[in-house]
Structure 1
Amino acid sequence: MRDMLKRIVLVVFILLVLMAVSGYFYMQKHPMEGKSSADKTLNISGNQISK
């Protein structure tokens, strides 16, 4: 039981690391054209919040 739990945690951790690395390389290839995350922040109704 304990070994199975360790294996599950290890697999989840490896998947998270792979997702982070692939996301990093994707963002290097497809930058967001100078838009920061603050420019894309949406409120609940879906309207863009401008500063």
Structure 2
Amino acid sequence: MKDMLKRIFLVIFVLLVLTAISGFFFMQKHPLGGKQPVTKTHTPSGQTVK
């Protein structure tokens, strides 16, 4: 019984990790709010560097 519970929790954990990783990569291509993906870095002076 314990082995079965361990296997169930392991499968759920792996599915959650895969969902998080795939969601992360999906949000890199399709950010919320219609904004472009973050490709610019901001310098401390406020200027954007391409």
TM-score interval for Structure 1 and Structure 2 normalised by the shorter chain: 0.5 to 0.7
Query: Hey, what does 1:14 align to over in structure 2?
Result: 14
Following TM superposition, the consecutive aligned residue runs of length 4 or more in structure 1 with deviations greater than 4 angstroms are none
Q: Where does the alignment leave 5 or more consecutive residues of structure 2 unmatched?
A: 36-50
TM-score normalised by length of structure 1: 0.62
Alignment size in residue pairs = 34
Residues 18-42 of structure 1: per-residue CA shift (max 9 Å, x gap) = 00000000000111224xxxxxxxx
| TM-align CA RMSD | 0.9
Contiguous gaps of at least 5 residues in structure 1: 35-51
Q: Point out the structure with max Rg over C-alpha.
A: 2
- Please, what TM-score do these two structures have when normalized by structure 2? 0.63
Identity of aligned residues (%): 68
**What secondary structure, in the 3-state scheme, does the structure 2 residue paired with 1:6 have?**
helix
Match of 1:42 in 2: none
2:2 aligns with 2
